Amino acid sequence: MDVFSALHNIKMIHLSLRDTVIIDVASALLVHLIYKRYEFDASRLIISLLLLVVIPSIPAAFFVPHFSGSTFLAFLSSFTIFYLVLISSIAAYRLSPWHPLAQYPGPILAKLTKFWGTWMMATGRNHIHLKQMHDAYGPYVRIGPNELSIVDASVISSVLGSEGMPKGPMWSGRMIKNSTPSLLAMRSAHAHAARRKPWNRAFNSAAVKGYEPIVIKRGLQLVRELEKRTSGVDLAEWISFFTTDFMGDMAFGGGFELMRDGGDKEGVWSTIEDGMEFLAVIQHLPWLSPLLFIIPGAMKNVYRFRTFCRERVQKRKAHGSLSKDLFYHLIDEDHIEKTPPSTEVVISDGGLAIVAGSDTTATVLSGIFFFLLTNPSVHARLQQEIDAAFPLGEGEPFDATKLAEMSFLNAVINETLRLQPPVPTYLQRAPEEGSGGKWIGDRFIPEGTAVVIPPYVISRDSRYFSPAPDSFWPERWLHPSVIRRTPKQQESMAQTPYSSTLLSSPTLNPDASPDVITNTAAFIPFSYGPANCAGRALAQTEMRMIVALLMQHFSMRFADGYDPRDWEAHIEDWFTVKKGKLHVVLTPRV
């Protein structure tokens, strides 16, 4: 018997209006219970149809005789009652004291629906909203019905560390169903650890040393291109061209020539940026995203980028390796693994290298020049350090060991990473499926809850960085009182009570500020633990070289008419940062 004849037979049974309404209400409550227990997402189309269409159709059939045989009115009434009860039941539960996150403060809308977080993300200003929420509510804030944001260095290790939790549900929201996830998107801790092995080989110190010639070649190309444009250039854009060309060389043995072309002729850069914005929004709705993925055109940028990576992988495979670049390790040309990685894995991870390695480094490099130009004394001090280490006319600043020892250069890089982390908010983790939950400190995080630690907020927290946590002050990294503590070591330390203004002071003179606090346990721009940034060592070498190279070759100032306030205003959080323009005028020094 099909559904329609079943409904027809039900219509023959006469129930009172009261009993019909009771059945409608009961079915809505039952559906809520089923969803709460089994958490089906929208890709389970048959189940969704059954629960959300067929079930409310049953009481609709009983309603028909009460509306003088009008099927339309019967269905309208049944569905209205069903959905009102279902939504109210979900809302009441989420706000009730029985919800597992009931004890945590947060905006009511955030507790009620994840659409609120989706909206926050869609503004591109999620980092600012999260900071404001922590300032208002404290270190633990409920930012979704089943999601917490935490700003507490003593639990970083138990969230992100080796005893912590695997990646959270946002990574299901960002995935095309049944496609091969990149390393970054792998939610099983076990599978992630296996996939991470070639990445660790690719970024050990010997391997990173081997990539230096690629940084140097592309760095010198950047200098040559900037020399042609000294009268005015968007430095942020050119740095992005550089990082993309460089990561193309690393990941696929070449293929991007944004610097040579003076722009994004193939549209790769804009494809990545548009794709990132879409994914950042739908990552909040993992139950709905499978449906969005089948809307024609919705995922065009994601598919386009994947096709682009596929073509690059095929070309690179056909040409073979010329050097031990990242691709060499990803495809396991050393034959270390028992099973070689599939082409799909290499496409996903090659694409990840481009996205993870270019945007992030470009954001920090551009940020460094922005902060230098707005802080002339810092600029002068760094120039002095670079000129002393690599005197003009005595060769390029390419000695990576020497660069790593330059304390002020490293302080400037750290301070930029602290104020403007390229992954500002969504380091998300969730208890392992089937584990029941996870203790972090003295709090139990039940399964089904996601936890976020936002680097942007924690590294502006005055308990960890003081005085003036919102100011650019590289000297804080050189102060004798710097606390060099890992998140693991911080776990057992007593916590200072949260206060957004605590210890804040406008004084930026270390001698006049005996209470300088710089606690590295809360400094997580590269994340922490087994899924921390695989490319950290490469990024650091690259950033040191490029800052020193550009400062050796050029003096710079903001272009006339450029308003520095625009920089901060155009920093947008789309999981990674999208930055604005940085118009400068350059004067060659050599």
Decide whether 207 or 281 has the Cβ nearer to ligand HEM: 207
Other residues' Cβ atoms within 10 Å of the Cβ of residue 16: 10
Under rule CB under 6 A, residue 487 binds ligand HEM: no
Residue 519, CA atoms < 13 Å, CB-side half-sphere: 26
Q: C-beta of 118: minimal distance to ligand HEM in Å?
A: 19
CB 359 within 8 A of CB 417: no
Under rule CB under 6 A, residue 168 binds ligand HEM: no
Q: C-beta of 208: minimal distance to ligand HEM in Å?
A: 10
Q: C-beta of 440: minimal distance to ligand HEM in Å?
A: 16
Under rule CB under 6 A, residue 498 binds ligand HEM: no
Which member of 150, 183, 373, 458 binds ligand HEM (CB under 6 A)? 183
Which member of 357, 367, 467, 487 binds ligand HEM (CB under 6 A)? 357
Sheet holding 554-558, edge to edge: 233-234, 583-588, 554-558
- 471 phi, psi to nearest 5 deg: -100, 155
Q: Of 24-32, 267-275, 355-363, 476-484, which segment contacts ligand HEM by CB under 6 A?
A: 355-363
Q: Of 37-45, 126-134, 525-533, 552-560, which segment contacts ligand HEM by CB under 6 A?
A: 525-533
Under rule CB under 6 A, residue 360 binds ligand HEM: yes
Range 16-21 contact pairs with CB under 8 angstroms and sequence separation of 24 or more: 17/66, 19/62, 20/59, 20/62, 20/63, 20/66, 21/59, 21/81
Under rule CB under 6 A, residue 199 binds ligand HEM: yes
Interface mask toward ligand HEM for 431-460; x: CB under 6 A: ------------------------------
How is 151-208 classified by DSSP, letter by letter?
Answer: --GGGHHHHHSTTS--B-THHHHTSPTTSPPPGGG---HHHHHHHHHHHHHHTSHHHH
3-class DSSP assignment, residue 388: helix
Q: Of 232-240, 256-264, 398-406, 522-530, which segment contacts ligand HEM by CB under 6 A?
A: 522-530
Under rule CB under 6 A, residue 353 binds ligand HEM: yes
Decide whether 302 or 364 has the Cβ nearer to ligand HEM: 364
Q: C-beta of 331: minimal distance to ligand HEM in Å?
A: 15
Interface mask toward ligand HEM for 411-430; x: CB under 6 A: -----------xx---x---
Which member of 236, 451, 539, 585 binds ligand HEM (CB under 6 A)? 539
Within 8 A by CB and 6+ apart from 511, the residues are: none
Decide whether 428 or 466 has the Cβ nearer to ligand HEM: 428
Under rule CB under 6 A, residue 156 binds ligand HEM: no
Other residues' Cβ atoms within 10 Å of the Cβ of residue 69: 10
> How many residues can be counted in the chain?
590
Eight-class DSSP state of 287: T
Which member of 135, 527, 559, 570 binds ligand HEM (CB under 6 A)? 527
Q: C-beta of 396: minimal distance to ligand HEM in Å?
A: 21
Q: C-beta of 428: minimal distance to ligand HEM in Å?
A: 7
Place of tokens 């269409």: 53
CB 371 within 8 A of CB 424: no
Q: Which of 183, 181, 177 is nearest to 196 (CA)?
A: 183
Q: Which of 377, 393, 381 is nearest to 552 (CA)?
A: 393
Size of the site for ligand HEM (CB under 6 A): 24
Place of tokens 């957004």: 500
568 token code pair = 């901060």
Angle of helix 55-63 relative to helix 3-12, nearest 10 degrees, comes to 30
Q: Of 317-325, 352-360, 384-392, 395-403, which segment contacts ligand HEM by CB under 6 A?
A: 352-360
Under rule CB under 6 A, residue 362 binds ligand HEM: no
CB 392 within 8 A of CB 381: no
End-to-end CA distance of the chain, in Å? 86
Please check if 309 is assigned to a binding site. no
Under rule CB under 6 A, residue 538 binds ligand HEM: yes
In angstroms, the CA 221 to CA 478 distance is: 33
Residue ranges of the annotated binding site for heme are 533
Residue ranges of the annotated binding site are 533
- Site residues for ligand HEM per CB under 6 A: 183-184, 196, 199, 352-353, 356-357, 360-361, 364, 422-423, 427, 525-527, 531-535, 538-539
